Chains A and B, each alone.
Chain A
Amino acid sequence: MRVHAKRVGALSGGLLFPALSMADWTVNMTPGVTGTSNDIFNLHMTIFWICVAIGVVVFGIMFWSIFAHRKSQGAKPANFHENTLVEVLWTLIPLVILVIMAIPATATLIDMYDTTESDIDIKVTGYQWKWQYEYINEDFGYFSNLTTPADQIGNRQTKGENYLLEVDNPMVIPVGKKIRFLLTANDVIHSWWVPDFGFKKDAIPGFINEAWTRVDKPGTYRGQCTELCGKNHGFMPVVVKAVPEEEYNTWVAEKKAAAEKERELTQKDWSMEELMERGEKAYATNCAACHQADGSGAPPAFPALKGSAIATGDIAAHIDIVVNGKSGTAMQAFGGQLNEADLAAIITYERNAWGNKVGDMVTPKEIFDYKNQQ
């Protein structure tokens, strides 16, 4: 990924701290890889230079006064304190500049809002603290989670190149196609941003927002959630891989086959060991952020599961809270997020890990029946 942008607009900061070989002193926005991001970059640079020009004039006159009209230089104060012509001029000239600025801004904005005639529609759903991407015309979808190890965040391991900007399943899109995004959220407001695409849109529960992009250059593009969404707001990156169209088609075929396989998992006969093994992994991905890897939680917002009344009590209540969530709390309804195999594995794992020795288990088939009877 490109890290060194053009050093246009290097302000005093750029002059004070010259670039070191190992350091990244990027000071400006990057033009990005889409038409929109290039338009935005041009708007940004235009308004920037207008501001610089105004600044040079205003501060120039000010510094001239500071230099030439000092009392210590024997300056005597003049007596003027009004001048209608000057006052009218410095009201009208900025107005003209603003109108000139508003014209290209309006054009870009109207273009950004034109989500018609898209080739591919992807639904993006924000969750605390991961993204779900659903290819709504292709009938599959998946979650995208941060993969940076906790040891790197906790400084026990050297940080990798894409520290905090790496995920298990990136979004994959074909180059040259108009992609329409439908954004929403499951819990709190999130915001989906890839700087190189030049769009950022909030994902809001109960709303569906639209946005679009067309990426011309293949590559991996990285961004982050940009609306404060709770404790792991800084840990839900966005990664998008733009690939040539054939590669995209192959990938879609693979994903569809995998989705079919997942559905078959529900029908399989599972042993306790298999469920526990799958459960440990699924728990780490989906539950540990709040309830912690050792089940100790972070009370009162995130209760402990170790020794909890639900995890060690009636299994029906346990299934209910995992599948349907608990309204009014941060506990989400996982029924729609996870497949039956993962739900069964997680519930079984929670009942039999960290000293919770209930000994019972629930199979994916039972979860399937439970979800259907509702």
Chain B
Amino acid sequence: MSAVADTHAQDHHHGPASGISRWLLTTNHKDIGTMYLIFSFTMFLLGGTMAMVIRAELFQPGLQIVQPEFFNQMTTMHGLIMVFGAVMPAFVGLANWMIPLMIGAPDMALPRMNNWSFWLLPCAFLILVSTLFMQGGAPNFGWTFYAPLSTTYGPPSTTFFIFAIHIMGVSSIMGAINVIATVLNMRAPGMTLMKMPMFVWTWLITAFLLIAVMPVLAGVVTMMLMDINFGTSFFNAAGGGDPVLFQHVFWFFGHPEVYIMILPAFGAISQIIPTFSRKRLFGYSSMVYATGAIALLSFLVWAHHMFTVGVPVAGQLFFMYATMLIAIPTGVKVFNWVATMFRGSLTFETPMLFAIAFVILFTIGGFSGLMLAIAPADFQYHDTYFVVAHFHYVLVPGAIFGIFASAYFWLPKWTGHMYDETLAKTHFWLSFIGMNLAFFPMHFLGLAGMPRRIPDYALQFADFNMVSSIGAFMFGTTQLLFLLIVVKCARGGEKAPAKPWEGAEGLEWEIPSPAPYHTFTTPPEVK
């Protein structure tokens, strides 16, 4: 057997195909991971540009730059693009690149489906972005698209939006199936589940969340489609439907969705902090159980987004208690990270800076989340800028800083070059200051009574809005620096060794940098 198999294997030890077909037809997890990451960054810049439009309009009271209709399109598209276009694909990209390298697999388990799930995404976003140029404009009902504003009162482009969501959902589900199949079947001999790197663990749990809730999202947009085009009344009170049903179904998807966007970042941070603390991750097994607990609880808290819709008091209490419980496993994770750093031997390369900022700022977002969980207090916070501050604190320094930390951490492995540390630190500090300047004052605005999703505001909100806009412009512009750093690193720079970080552990650091096109064709042995 071996003689035949060996010759066969020899034939296939080739590099990538040349030209465009390399990218269109590739089944290589590294190529697909790269495409996901490039796509995600493109969407990040596009969604960011829309955020700049929003902040420019809110720079001063009065309407200066855009009209309310277009403002609402900007808030909607900014949210949709950042959630579905920037954050989720970035994590799928990281999963594609890193999971096979971390578990010692030659590729993802289902490489052709991998190609398909990537190429669906540009199609979906082409449709979504094209609605901006349609008659009646793009979706303008917020990224949460509450019915009946999005059905009976939605613009004609809503049907295209629904189609785009369906395609994104298919792509996400296929990506999740691929991750589960890879992690469960293709681990190197000796790598038991409880020996897997945390990033692999959190992604495995995330993938189950995706499979559980993306069909729910597909269901809710399909009901919208029926209401809009086929005369049903799922959400139309005049026809006997129920507008609140929409919110229940949407948030049954929406709450696990926020963990889909943060759990992989938890995993990446759990790789990075031990590396630069030169000390093993504290409480590995409690980390795994905490992640699982967060994922399970995420299915039981959806109505905390709906405290003001008139849920009966017993329901209100149940969702309040369940939401407060999430603080416990989340707290365990934060305590574990701090305990990992405690009595370590710390250095502060850029991935570590982003990771430390992640822990601090995500915790601040967690605190405001705990405040929002208190149902009576939520009556004051709900749908104000306090909520905007809260979810930007968990998503920007949470998900996005997690992605930046991962990118700097693994760039040497991807490109074979070290990135420019000075520029990267500049990127960090400008992002850190800009982000806090943009989002911290939003807490004050919300507590003072400014509702979210308004294009113009009363005069007492003027000062903090101006501060916030300045911070947002600073944060937005800074991201161009990241593009420069990555391009520079891809084109050259100091040669990266196989293991560029002194304290790094794991299979991905045992292969040369840049990672060869095919890795682990013979499975490594894990002890």
Find out whether the CB atom of B341 lies under 8 angstroms from the CB atom of A65. yes
A55 at the interface (CB under 8 A from B): yes
Contacts of A37 in B (CB 8 A): 380
Find out whether the CB atom of B380 lies under 8 angstroms from the CB atom of A189. no
In the complex the two chains form, what is the Cα distance from A269 to B233 in whole Å?
A: 44
Find out whether the CB atom of A230 lies under 8 angstroms from the CB atom of B149. yes
How far does the Cβ of A108 sit from chain B's closest Cβ, in whole Å? 4
Nearest CB in chain B to that of A25: its residue: B463
B207 at the interface (CB under 8 A from A): no
Contact flags B458-500 to A (C-beta < 8 A → 1, else 0): 1111111001000000000000000000000000000000000
**How many residue pairs, one in A and one in B, have C-beta atoms under 8 Å apart?**
304
Contacts of B277 in A (CB 8 A): 69, 77
Q: A51-B370, A71-B345 are in contact. Are A154 and B383 (CB under 8 A)?
A: no
Contacts of B456 in A (CB 8 A): 153, 164, 234-235
Find out whether the CB atom of B344 lies under 8 angstroms from the CB atom of A75. yes
Q: A105-B375, A195-B380, A207-B244 are in contact. Are A87 and B343 (CB under 8 A)?
A: no
Of the residues B135, B278, B447, contact of A77 by C-beta under 8 Å: B278
Nearest CB in chain A to that of B339: its residue: A86
In the complex the two chains form, what is the Cα distance from A292 to B506 in whole Å?
A: 65
How far does the Cβ of B336 sit from chain A's closest Cβ, in whole Å? 8
Find out whether the CB atom of B244 lies under 8 angstroms from the CB atom of A204. yes
Contacts of A43 in B (CB 8 A): 374, 376-377
A187 at the interface (CB under 8 A from B): yes
Contacts of B377 in A (CB 8 A): 40, 43-44, 47, 105
Contacts of B359 in A (CB 8 A): 62
In the complex the two chains form, what is the Cα distance from A11 to B467 in whole Å?
A: 15
In the complex the two chains form, what is the Cα distance from A23 to B68 in whole Å?
A: 26
Q: A61-B338, A76-B345, A90-B335 are in contact. Are A27 and B61 (CB under 8 A)?
A: no
Contacts of A13 in B (CB 8 A): 440-441, 443-444, 464, 467
Selecting from B26-34, B42-50, B125-133, B308-316, the interface stretch reads B308-316
Contacts of B343 in A (CB 8 A): 65, 69, 75, 77-78, 80
Contacts of A187 in B (CB 8 A): 148, 152-153
Find out whether the CB atom of B441 lies under 8 angstroms from the CB atom of A69. no
Contacts of A113 in B (CB 8 A): 313, 316
In the complex the two chains form, what is the Cα distance from A202 to B135 in whole Å?
A: 31
Find out whether the CB atom of A300 lies under 8 angstroms from the CB atom of B321. no
Q: Which of B49-77 contact A (CB under 8 A)?
A: 61-64, 67-69, 72
Question: Which range holds the interface residue count of chain B?
Answer: 35 or more
Selecting from B213-221, B279-287, B396-404, the interface stretch reads B279-287
In the complex the two chains form, what is the Cα distance from A78 to B343 in whole Å?
A: 6
Contact flags A262-276 to B (C-beta < 8 A → 1, else 0): 000000000000000
B331 at the interface (CB under 8 A from A): yes
Selecting from B17-25, B114-122, B138-146, the interface stretch reads B138-146
Question: Of A37, A71, A209, which is in contact with the most chain B CB atoms at under 10 Å from its CB?
Answer: A71
Contacts of A328 in B (CB 8 A): 152
In the complex the two chains form, what is the Cα distance from A65 to B356 in whole Å?
A: 11
Of the residues A24, A90, A108, A231, contact of B332 by C-beta under 8 Å: A90
Contacts of A189 in B (CB 8 A): 146, 148-149, 243
Contact flags B343-360 to A (C-beta < 8 A → 1, else 0): 111110000000010011
Contacts of A329 in B (CB 8 A): 152
Q: Which of A20-45 contact B (CB under 8 A)?
A: 20, 23-30, 36-37, 39-40, 43-44
Q: Which of B131-185 contact A (CB under 8 A)?
A: 135-136, 140-142, 146, 148-149, 152-153, 155-156
Of the residues B152, B320, B364, B448, contact of A109 by C-beta under 8 Å: B320
B455 at the interface (CB under 8 A from A): yes
Find out whether the CB atom of B451 lies under 8 angstroms from the CB atom of A224. yes
Find out whether the CB atom of A105 lies under 8 angstroms from the CB atom of B449. no
Nearest CB in chain B to that of A5: its residue: B448
In the complex the two chains form, what is the Cα distance from A162 to B460 in whole Å?
A: 9
In the complex the two chains form, what is the Cα distance from A357 to B327 in whole Å?
A: 67
Q: Which of A150-178 contact B (CB under 8 A)?
A: 152-155, 159, 161-165
A250 at the interface (CB under 8 A from B): no
A81 at the interface (CB under 8 A from B): yes
Of the residues A26, A69, A106, contact of B342 by C-beta under 8 Å: A69
B202 at the interface (CB under 8 A from A): no
Contact flags B365-382 to A (C-beta < 8 A → 1, else 0): 001001100111101101
Nearest CB in chain A to that of B366: its residue: A51
B334 at the interface (CB under 8 A from A): yes
Find out whether the CB atom of B62 lies under 8 angstroms from the CB atom of A152. yes
How far does the Cβ of A193 sit from chain B's closest Cβ, in whole Å? 7
Contacts of B441 in A (CB 8 A): 13
Find out whether the CB atom of A159 lies under 8 angstroms from the CB atom of B62. yes
Question: Of A163, A193, A202, which is in contact with the most chain B CB atoms at under 10 Å from its CB?
Answer: A202
In the complex the two chains form, what is the Cα distance from A309 to B486 in whole Å?
A: 59
In the complex the two chains form, what is the Cα distance from A200 to B381 in whole Å?
A: 9
B223 at the interface (CB under 8 A from A): no
Find out whether the CB atom of A51 lies under 8 angstroms from the CB atom of B342. no
In the complex the two chains form, what is the Cα distance from A11 to B447 in whole Å?
A: 13
B325 at the interface (CB under 8 A from A): yes
In the complex the two chains form, what is the Cα distance from A272 to B312 in whole Å?
A: 53
A199 at the interface (CB under 8 A from B): yes
Find out whether the CB atom of A206 lies under 8 angstroms from the CB atom of B61. no
Contacts of B278 in A (CB 8 A): 71, 77
In the complex the two chains form, what is the Cα distance from A44 to B370 in whole Å?
A: 11
Find out whether the CB atom of A94 lies under 8 angstroms from the CB atom of B317. no
A59 at the interface (CB under 8 A from B): yes
Find out whether the CB atom of A23 lies under 8 angstroms from the CB atom of B463. yes
In the complex the two chains form, what is the Cα distance from A222 to B461 in whole Å?
A: 14
How far does the Cβ of A298 sit from chain B's closest Cβ, in whole Å? 7
A228 at the interface (CB under 8 A from B): yes
Since A113-B316, A230-B72 are in contact, a sample of 8 more A-B pairs with Cβ atoms closer than 8 Å, ordered by chain A residue number, is A44-B374, A48-B371, A69-B277, A128-B153, A162-B458, A224-B451, A231-B69, A298-B69
B contact residues vs A (CB 8 Å cutoff): 61-64, 67-69, 72, 135-136, 140-142, 146, 148-149, 152-153, 155-156, 237-238, 241-244, 277-284, 286, 308-310, 313, 316-317, 320-321, 324-325, 327-328, 331-332, 334-335, 338-347, 356, 359-360, 363-364, 367, 370-371, 374-377, 379-380, 382-384, 440-441, 443-444, 447-449, 451-464, 467
A contact residues vs B (CB 8 Å cutoff): 3, 5, 11-14, 17, 20, 23-30, 36-37, 39-40, 43-44, 47-48, 51, 54-55, 58-59, 61-62, 64-66, 69-72, 75-83, 86-87, 90-91, 94-95, 98, 101-102, 105-106, 108-110, 112-113, 128, 152-155, 159, 161-165, 187-189, 191, 193, 195, 198-202, 204-207, 209-210, 222-235, 298-301, 327-330
Q: Top 6 nearest A-B pairs by Cβ distance?
A: A206-B237, A234-B454, A51-B367, A78-B343, A209-B310, A81-B280
